[in-house]
Structure 1
Amino acid sequence: MKNFNTTTSAASRLRLLFLIALMAMLAACSSIRFTYNHGDTVLYWWLNNYLDFDSDQSGFVKRDIDNLFQWHRKTQLKDYVQLLQTGQRQLAGNLTAADLHANYDQVRARTELLAFKALPELADLARTVKPEQITQMEKKFAKNNDDFRKKFMKGDLEEQQKARFKKSMEQFDLWFGRFSSEQEAQLRKASDARALNNEIWLDERVRRQKRIVAVLRKVQQEKLAKDATITQLHGLVRELFDRMDAPERKAFFDAYEEQTIQMILTAVKIATPVQKANAQKRMAGWIDDFNVLATQPQT
């Protein structure tokens, strides 16, 4: 249950490479089965926006994405079914903050597994990246950062809180259906109680981007062998996943997580039986989709 309401913060924390983009894409879509079956194409397009592949890269990247999807389909989707079934039971019972913490840990563990699984393929790609492609990636990062500033750093505190609340409500409405104005007022209060420092989020984005670029430049300039490249990427992935535990930021991120959990609990507490039924129905649909996908061959 936690991941659907922490999409913005989780993506800000863990948007590492195309793997996290895939998970965000699936979470936002109403028909996982359709999206997953076309995810390899979307994933390739997303990566290509950053690096503008040449013809040689295009061929093996498509192959590696296909192999990753086949592995994920065969080994991970049934596990996701179990997570959703746990969420259904929690929603039908007495959902607690401890439940949400445990759910987040489970989601993070599976995201890490996916990232580390792809390291050999990412190493193959990293070893072929050219200086001009790194420059292209830097330009894409800069554009993304400008978009972030426009969406979340425009105006005063009230405007920034409003923009963040709007993003949260998109996720709540996706799961529960429309909330009444009275319910939205309670959720807005819980949302505004969360720590807000978009400068920190932006700084983390920039730090992450610089580290990715630095590793790619090291691999390219030193012409690292595959094993050495995997070692560099492993350290990068580990660092980016653990960044929120850095001493200078841990207090802020811990507080934000706790306050977001309280917002989720508020949403569940004030949801009507019909709204909870909507959430149960959505989870049931996703369970059905994952069960079908797990038994289908990659198309």
Structure 2
Amino acid sequence: MSQIQRISILIILSLLLSGCGVRFVYNQLDWIIPWYLDDYMELDGRQEDAFRSDLDRYLAWHRTEQLPLYAQFLNQVADEAETGLSVDDIARVQLQSEQFAATLVERMKPDLIELFATATDEQVDQLFEKFNKENAKYRKEYVDVPEQKQRQQWQKEVIRYAERWTGDLNKDQLALIRKWSEQFALMGEGLGESRLAWQAEFRRILQLRTDRAAYEKAFVALLDNPQFGRSPELQQKMDANSDLLINLYLNIDKSLTTKQRTKAVAKLRDYADDFVVLAKQ
């Protein structure tokens, strides 16, 4: 996923499923998102007014049309999780999650295109200065570290994520994650190169913004191609890692205690209930 898509999507989806209260965070998105964007590109008064107007419409659409779908989806996953997940269940979860993300991108395309069409050269420089800082941080954390440390980092991330849903994992479940991390194909270098390729293309597109037709066509093409910049080798690793992760999910699901499964199902339904309430506000 591109950095612009992460800026736009993860603010909503990741914050919604964070450790913070879902209802509280969602109701603060009208100021959280501008604050987050400002860290990438400081808007002038005219741009900020237009962005906030677009954001209000976007959040109203998301609240009324998307949140009920999220609630329905999570309740369906909870129903399946009560008796144990299958490969098909996990595949449906992945596919539906991707479709939700694609819907968000599609809905925000016109606003993103308009926002960056008005960017000054100084704002573009500010944006890419932020990208460069993120690239350096990414390389420090995921490339310029020993292989074993990288695998330990992945272990910690998966454990942290799993325990948010299940509570403390037992030693057998932790062993499953360690085994997975040993088989996982490290992608730090390849993903870093993909980021740089995407950024280079994005900068080229921004240089076209005085030619609106060419700019818009190129921007849409980039947003419609989430695989842009990936080498065949990287894509092969990503596919293999996806299969490994599905297998890990299945093995952990099979190993859940009654207490862990009950907690996970309850958490899914709590999120669904929150989305139902938010959609009606």
Which residue in the other structure is 2:211 paired with?
A: 224
1:120 and 1:230 in contact (8 A); partners too: no
1:8-36, Cα deviation, whole Å (9 max, x unpaired): xxxxx354333222222222234211111
Aligned with 1:233 (options 211, 214, 219) = 219
Which residue in the other structure is 1:118 paired with?
A: 108
Amino acid at match of 1:21: L
SS where residue 195 of structure 1 aligns? coil
Equivalents in 2 of 1:231, 1:70: separation in Å? 27
1:78 and 1:291 in contact (8 A); partners too: yes
1:52 and 1:133 in contact (8 A); partners too: yes
- Which has the larger displacement, 61-70 or 243-252? 243-252
Size of the aligned set, in residue pairs, is 279
Identity of aligned residues (%): 26
Aligned with 2:9 (options 13, 20, 23) = 20
Deviation at 1:196, TM superposition (A): 1.4
Which residue in the other structure is 1:163 paired with?
A: 153
* 1:1-299 correspondence runs (5 A): 13-17=1-5, 18-22=7-11, 23-219=13-209, 223-225=210-212, 229-239=215-225, 241-243=226-228, 247-296=232-281
TM-score, normalised by the number of residues in structure 2: 0.92
Equivalents in 2 of 1:238, 1:159: separation in Å? 35
Cα distance, 1:178–1:33 mapped onto 2, change above 3 Å: same
1:120-143, Cα deviation, whole Å (9 max, x unpaired): 111221111011111111111111
2:41 and 2:123 in contact (8 A); partners too: yes
Deviation at 1:228, TM superposition (A): 5.2
TM-score, normalised by the number of residues in structure 1: 0.87
Amino acid at match of 2:139: R
Cα distance, 1:15–1:28 mapped onto 2, change above 3 Å: farther
Deviation at 1:254, TM superposition (A): 0.9
Cα distance, 1:154–1:266 mapped onto 2, change above 3 Å: farther
Amino acid at match of 1:71: W
Which residue in the other structure is 1:5 paired with?
A: none
1:200-250, Cα deviation, whole Å (9 max, x unpaired): 12112222222222222221xxx133x6544332211112x2448864533
Unaligned runs of 5+ in 2: none
Amino acid at match of 2:258: P
Equivalents in 1 of 2:252, 2:181: separation in Å? 11
2:67 and 2:279 in contact (8 A); partners too: yes
1:43-83, Cα deviation, whole Å (9 max, x unpaired): 11111111111122111111111110001111111111121
Cα distance, 1:243–1:47 mapped onto 2, change above 3 Å: same
SS where residue 76 of structure 1 aligns? helix
Cα distance, 1:170–1:14 mapped onto 2, change above 3 Å: farther
1:96-147, Cα deviation, whole Å (9 max, x unpaired): 2222122111111111111111111112211110111111111111111122
Equivalents in 2 of 1:46, 1:233: separation in Å? 22
Cα distance, 1:194–1:110 mapped onto 2, change above 3 Å: same
Unaligned runs of 5+ in 1: 1-12
